[in-house]
Structure 1
Amino acid sequence: MPAVDDILSSRRRAERFAQLLDEANGGRRHHVRSRVDGQLVQLVAVGQRLAADPPTVEVDPDFRTGLRAMLLATAEREGLGTAPAAGEPAATRTASARGSLLPAVTARRARARGAILIGIAVGAIAVSGISAASENAVPGDALYGMKRSKESAQLALASSDISRGQLFLDFARTRLGEAAELRGDRLGFSAVLDDMDADTRQGIRLLTTAAVQRGEAASLDTVNTFVTSQRRAVGKLLDGADRADRERTRRSLVLLESIRERSDALRAAIGCGLPAPRTSDTLGPAPAACPGAR
């Protein structure tokens, strides 16, 4: 018989999985972290994928018939659905009334219980290596949706805006690798670079905003490091590219240059003690120039 601690641990894991899946699907964020969050990332990703594209399941007619018979027998044995006999004790009638409330309670918990049930299926799929196999998928591959769902799960598990910002920059690096695989596919190449630039903007906005809020210029080091390495890697896409791909690649290079200029301006503004900027754009706070600066 499993130990009580093991039972409680399994229950907490299931409840935490239900929370994370709910958050990943747009539910209320709980702003808490658990030591098992890292283990649940892939499960949340697969759970999202299953919810978005549920597999087709055909129930065997014999199984359906047998299950119905078992449920009816259980209902008869437990007295479910039968009216109380005349003169039945009040305590029994109270218990019956309480039982009538169970469907309402079950409905309120359906979402969490559904997530737990999905988790059972997810566990079987995750250990089969599907999630790991999706790492090298590119747009158009069967497992690419799984790959993106895993990224959404990672964002849901992030504990702060800085962590989310760094994740978005990691995703931008991933999109760059996908673009390199799609060279020659004009539509696919351009679409992946669009996603790369969107991830870049999201990450930079979160990181620059955090740097201004904290008043720490050192927080911009991550931004500068990313721009330096990413600009070098994006530049390699120009080699041997046709005219359309070169033009699209240059737009991403222009974005990286704008980010570097914004980072330098914010670093200067923080250094000279300017108040936090009141305006912002897709790259985050837009600072004013320091007094006396040209």
Structure 2
Amino acid sequence: MGKSRRSRERVLGHLTELRELPLGGGPSDAFRDRLRDELLTARSDASERSARRPRGPRSASSRSSRRGPGSSRRRVRARPWLSQLATLSLAAAMMVSAFATYRAVPGDTLYPLKRAAESTLVRLSDDDVERAERELDSAKARAEEVAELLGPSHEDSPGNDALVGRTLKDMEESTRSGISRLERVRPRSPKIRTFARDQRDMVEPMLERMDGEDQDQATGYLDYIEGLAAPPG
């Protein structure tokens, strides 16, 4: 039970760090070093378990089928190393994929994986405060994605307007859900006002790059968070 909890906390920690990477950013040196240490520890543990594993008596047919003296022992020794190499390669491939995933924006192939990882973080949160804060983090991520979609590298992409509108909608849904949850458990939390101000400063400059329904949707969002950003009366 203890090992399972520690594993879950470690996975959550990695997901959180990856999630907080800025768009186009990469993992920090400290994160790489810690990941390498954990992989090497896992490899060492696997070697120790393999060395401690009891080996049953060989049957006569098994002994007689050996191609030559020592050949079976060489095969037995080779298997743990091949298994460890495959495990490390898989872990490295997964981390490379994770870095690419957390730099993805709407419309990218890996973007659904990014959203699935965010949803996992929210569902695995232990209490309502943590869950609300993760939902607000998701809203911030959507604002950053809208800014990216409106930037020079994406503004002329096919279907970009639909992606902007959908991302704005997701941003508002995450905001309302997170604020509602946080107001229920911590109604006077200063994080609500701080979040609203940060979002206002992020979204407001985008209005001039929007038109039509997207601009109306963003304006409605700003009207909603403006009341949250105001100091309490």
Query: TM-score w.r.t. structure 2 length?
Result: 0.58
Q: Give the distance between the partners of 1:150 and 1:224, measured in 2 at CA.
A: 27
- The corresponding residue for 1:131 is 98
Give CA-to-partner distance per residue, 1:186-239, whole Å, 9 cap, x none.
Answer: 211110000000000111011100125xxxx3xx20000001111111101113
Q: Which residue, out of 152, 159, 178, partners 2:119?
A: 152
- The corresponding residue for 2:174 is 199
The root-mean-square deviation of aligned C-alpha atoms, in Å, is 3.1
Q: 1:240 to 1:140 in 2, by over 3 A?
A: closer
**Amino acid of the residue matched to residue 219 of structure 2?**
R
- The corresponding residue for 2:192 is 223
- The corresponding residue for 1:182 is 149
Equivalent runs, 1:73-92 vs 2, <5 Å = none
SS of alignment partner, residue 179 of structure 2: helix
Structure 2 residue runs of 5 or longer lacking an equivalent are 16-86
Q: Give the distance between the partners of 1:126 and 1:12, measured in 2 at CA.
A: 28
Aligned length: 156
Q: 1:129 to 1:205 in 2, by over 3 A?
A: same
Structure 1 residue runs of 5 or longer lacking an equivalent are 1-10, 17-33, 45-119, 269-294
* 2:194/2:229 contact within 8 Å kept: no
Is residue 227 of structure 2 the alignment partner of residue 252 of structure 1? no
1:143 shift after superposition = 0.6
Query: TM-score w.r.t. structure 1 length?
Result: 0.47
SS of alignment partner, residue 159 of structure 1: coil
- The corresponding residue for 1:110 is none
Q: Give the distance between the partners of 2:140 and 2:172, measured in 1 at CA.
A: 10
Equivalent runs, 1:87-126 vs 2, <5 Å = 124=91
Identical columns (%): 29
1:259 shift after superposition = 3.4
Q: Give the distance between the partners of 2:195 and 2:9, measured in 1 at CA.
A: 24
1:242 shift after superposition = 2.7
* 2:132/2:177 contact within 8 Å kept: yes
- The corresponding residue for 2:65 is none
* 1:43/1:126 contact within 8 Å kept: no
SS of alignment partner, residue 239 of structure 1: helix
1:250 shift after superposition = 0.5
Q: Give the distance between the partners of 1:12 and 1:43, measured in 2 at CA.
A: 19
